[in-house]
Structure 1
Amino acid sequence: MVAVTVGLALGGHVGPSGASLSVIGTAAGLWLATLVADGQAYKTVHRRLPLRNGVKRSLYVSSPLLLSAVGPLLLIGVSALGLMELRTALLTAAVLDVLSLFVWGYVGGRRMGGSPGVALVAALLDALIGFAVVAVKLLAGH
């Protein structure tokens, strides 16, 4: 989502409705691809399709991918109301997504049993990946 919001902001050829569709399409596409990959991996390992509980677990685990669209969509909505330029809204969404990577990294590190220090390292690495994505998009100029 970071790459999409930065790309849309730098492209300058889309309005709020087009940006919203891009964000929704990206989130839905990534989520569906994750579900398919998870099902294929399960079948490869267990030589059968996952049962109902496995499908429910996969839906639960992959659902945060859909949440990545909420911030950008809210900010695009603010832009559509004329309260913020679309480019500013999209770049703000990218920054917030990088910050959310930091938070998810910390929470994930703690949930895996890591100490606060280990969780902080995981959070920083996740945020670093987000910043790297932004840097690549900025350097590429799109």
Structure 2
Amino acid sequence: MAKLTEKQRRFADEYIRLGEITQAAINAGYSTKTAHATGNENLKKPIVKTYIDERLEKLRKESIAEQDEILQYLTSVMRGNVNDEHLMVTGDDMGTMVEKHERRSDTMARTKAAELLGKRHMMWTEKHQVEDVTPILVEDVPDDDS
């Protein structure tokens, strides 16, 4: 299988960034006269398409929190392992200053994290999950019953 050239890689990266074929091709170093046609050609090549798809998947994974990451974060907040940053204004005759102070997550944030974790694990739901059961009708009435 053919390898992706440096110019094709630059085009693909620019196309991902801009979402526009012509400008992506120009930024990658292709001629302005043939940029659109060359960009279209590149997008039809399996190696370029595969590269773009893989990069988009990687970017999606980096930018969107997965379920495990969310659960780990909520657990660390609930356990008080996350520090919040607070700004304090202090001052005297010489002027005022803003100081940064870190402190453990407050009780409300920790309780909210525990609540969200509990909901995720269905710990305090009053609803019962019931399977969808279709009733079966049994004809037990004799035919001669009028």
TM-score class, shorter-chain normalisation, is under 0.3
> If the length of structure 1 is used for normalisation, what is the TM-score?
0.25
Structure with the bigger percentage of helix: 1
Structure with the bigger percentage of strand: 2
Which one has a bigger Cα radius of gyration?
2
> If the length of structure 2 is used for normalisation, what is the TM-score?
0.25
Higher relative contact order (CA 8 A, sep 6+): 1
